[in-house]
Structure 1
Amino acid sequence: MAVNNFHLNDFMAGWIGGASSVVVGHPLDTVKTRLQAGKGYQNMTHCMLSIYRKETVAGFFKGMSFPVATIAAYNSLVFGFFSNAQRFISKYRYGDGRHACSKLDLTVASMLTGLVSVGVGAPVDLVKIRLQMQTQTPLLTENFQLAGGVSGESNMVMRVAHSSSQTLYRGPVHCISSILQAEGLQGLYRGGGAMVLRDVPGYVLYFLPYTVFCDLLRPDAASNPHPCAIWLAGGLAGSISWVTATPSDVVKSRMQADAGPHRKYRSVANCILHSYKTEGVQVFFRGASVNAIRGFPMSATMFLAYELSLQFLGSF
């Protein structure tokens, strides 16, 4: 492939869009994680009230520093790879990297993006979820007891969980260090298989609807979509993608929140079967409403910031 088909602006614009989307979406992301992997929450409203009463507003921003620092880089990879993949596919199929991609081309580029994104996204999600779940004392002790922890070890966990700080990790760096020491590098990729199941189809249902909605909302084929159209198309695409990805997202969240020396879940299949047997099929749709609500403003902000940044960078 020709080198001039590779554009760095897409990576830079993706970084800006990613940082913007984290600020908008993180509070509801915390609610989503607690609903999917925590215990004792009846619904989204009850979860939000519980977090606020026990942890105040700061509870909604648990683990945010790490996503702000890393999701920007993650989205830089996602949008940069996706846009350049489209150009490479067009160059290969049509001889011109600027040729418009077909729906099949977009599907292939989206699937490849989802696969590549797991390499960076799995550790980022793992650390974020571990930090978000720190105050979930009942979950940590229940995981230990269900896994058959011995009395002395269980008492130790209870003492740690009920300490004044009620935290296992002092921050993102300490979290990563603890995971590496206890589980090695593979520990950072726990839940990676579930993330592949989520992101490969998830990105197809992210980029494809966005492109379709943008085409429908633009005044004519030759003009660029209006910022309002970009915002609406991005929001709708985000809601569609996140709602359909909820079942695999539940499995991923549960596996990544499954901390401690003894695991409840041995594999993705084991997590699915265990969750189904103990809580029924409805467990796989926990957080769907949060995903639908959260997906709109987060993705709308992501796409709008990305497109506007791309236009700005292209003006130089």
Structure 2
Amino acid sequence: MSERDAIKRHPGDPRPQLPPRAQLHEWRGSAASDVIRRRAGRAGPTPPWPELRVVVRPAAREPPAARCAAAPSPRPSREARDPPRPPPPDGTCVEEQLRPVYLQVWLLRCVQIELLSSRRCSELEKRTEVYNSKKNSMMGSEGFSPGSSEEDPSSDVTATSSKHYLCGYCAAFTNIAVTFPIQKVLFRQQLYGLKTKDAIQQLQKDGIRNLYRGILPPLMQKTTTLALMFGLYEDFSSLLHSHTTAPELLTRSMAAVLAGTTEAVLTPFERVQTLLQDYKHHDKFTNTYQAFKVLKVYGMREYYRGLVPILLRNGPSNVLFFGLRGPIKQCLPEATSYSTHLVNDFICGGLLGAMLGFLFFPMNVVKARMQAQIGGEFQSFSTVFVKIWLERDRKLINLFRGAHLNYHRSVLSWGIINATYEFLLKLL
């Protein structure tokens, strides 16, 4: 039987298969690959093949020593085509000679992998530092503690501070829309020393149409004030931390005072709000534009009547608010979801707002009395305070008349502000 007849062409071919202990050594023709694929079960029957020359030899595996000794091949055809190499002079195998080279290559590869891994570790550490600095800058508004650092690039600082401005603006807008009627009742009590029931009856007589009268100035003033309060606090904190070596507690406190002082620039809005909420001035002007126009006649100084009590209120209240917000939140139960975070932020802001509102309530009483006046002499803070003290029979409880309503309003107002601010800050 010839070599060509020893190959089975397709499943229907009656000729015998290749011997079981044989293998193809060399072949010619384009159909050899089809033979191999069909033997592996990946090809079907094909039409008759062209001429094919196949060499068949036994599949005997040579021992390793035979390869190293370079013994002459028993096949003359292979020996004629590829003559054997002479053995090495020292009698060792070629693989043994190349073993040191392999070892050197392996060591170089290990060093390369080690250098690459160390470089990746350093890059990971840098990214971790940047992430922690961003996280500290965002979470720093919850309270400040010595040791926290904020080292962000200028672009990151700009993006982060803009988020604080936007979140503060939206939080103030939500707060004013909800609590303005309560604030109006409180203002009547501060200005005239009325009881809560009498102040509510005054608002009922004014009618529902005048309930939100004067909302535009506090809306403009409060939204801008809170945007500056949160945004400038972050900006001043970063600026002082990067340009001074003072302790973190001192820089944070100074940033809060500077932010509160900057808020006082918007005193004209608070001044117009006071005039619009006073029923004695209802016949003089009906909207914000007319109020500003009336005050323009008295000069720029008239817009800033009552500036001193505002400065005495804003700076210390900001220091206490930003300084105690973090510790108070840490005392609350740990939050595990967005809803619990929202509740904790509301409680934290409400408690702080109520405490600060009650503490600085006399400042607001003096401010309301000073800003309710149009024209005339500019009286000092101490003079107005003594006058109110004498009018209210020199009793501290009369000086805090309306403070209980301010307490409840502050719980609701600052709870909404803090919860909305933190919620929007996490979303952005």
Contact 2:241 2:248 survives alignment (8 Å): no
In structure 1, stretches of 5+ residues that fail to align are: 96-100, 141-165
| In 1: Cα distance, 2:263 partner to 2:350 partner | 21
Matches within 5 A, 1:300-315: 300-313=415-428
- Secondary structure of residue in 1 paired with 2:327: helix
1:274-299 alpha-carbon deviations (Å, 9 max, x no partner): 11222224343132112111101111
What's the TM-score once normalised by structure 1's chain length?
Answer: 0.77
Is 1:51 matched up with 2:203?
A: yes
Equivalent position to 1:167, from 280, 283, 286: 283
| In 1: Cα distance, 2:334 partner to 2:372 partner | 46
Q: What's 2:390 paired with? A: 277
Is 1:123 matched up with 2:275?
A: no
| In 2: Cα distance, 1:224 partner to 1:35 partner | 36
**What RMSD over aligned residues (CA atoms) do the two structures have, in Å?**
2.6
Contact 2:221 2:270 survives alignment (8 Å): no
| In 2: Cα distance, 1:110 partner to 1:224 partner | 29
- AA of the residue aligned to 2:187: T
Residue 72 of structure 1, CA deviation: 1.3
Would the alpha carbon gap of residues 104 and 44 (structure 1) be closer, same or farther in structure 2, given more than 3 Å must change?
A: farther
What's the TM-score once normalised by structure 2's chain length?
Answer: 0.58
| In 2: Cα distance, 1:45 partner to 1:240 partner | 24
Equivalent position to 1:187, from 302, 306, 309: 302
- Secondary structure of residue in 1 paired with 2:286: coil
Residue 225 of structure 1, CA deviation: 7.8
Residue 93 of structure 1, CA deviation: 5.4
Residue 189 of structure 1, CA deviation: 0.4
| Identity between Structure 1 and Structure 2 (%) | 20
| In 2: Cα distance, 1:64 partner to 1:247 partner | 23
Bigger helix fraction:
1
**Off by >6 Å, runs of 4+ in structure 1:** none
1:154-191 alpha-carbon deviations (Å, 9 max, x no partner): xxxxxxxxxxxx4211210110111011x211111000
| In 1: Cα distance, 2:248 partner to 2:210 partner | 44
Residue 216 of structure 1, CA deviation: 2.3
Residue 204 of structure 1, CA deviation: 2.2
Higher deviation after alignment, 226-235 or 105-114: 105-114
Matches within 5 A, 1:1-316: 3-4=154-155, 5-6=157-158, 7-38=161-192, 41=194, 43-52=195-204, 54-92=205-243, 102-120=248-266, 122-133=267-278, 135-136=279-280, 166-181=282-297, 183-217=298-332, 219=334, 226-259=341-374, 261-263=375-377, 266-279=379-392, 280-282=394-396, 283-313=398-428
- Secondary structure of residue in 2 paired with 1:226: helix
In structure 2, stretches of 5+ residues that fail to align are: 1-150
Ranked by relative contact order (alpha carbons within 8 Å, sequence separation 6 or more), the top structure is 1
- Secondary structure of residue in 2 paired with 1:61: coil
Q: What's 2:103 paired with? A: none
Q: What's 2:31 paired with? A: none
- Secondary structure of residue in 2 paired with 1:8: helix
| Number of corresponding residues | 270
1:114-140 alpha-carbon deviations (Å, 9 max, x no partner): 1111112x111111110000x23xxx7
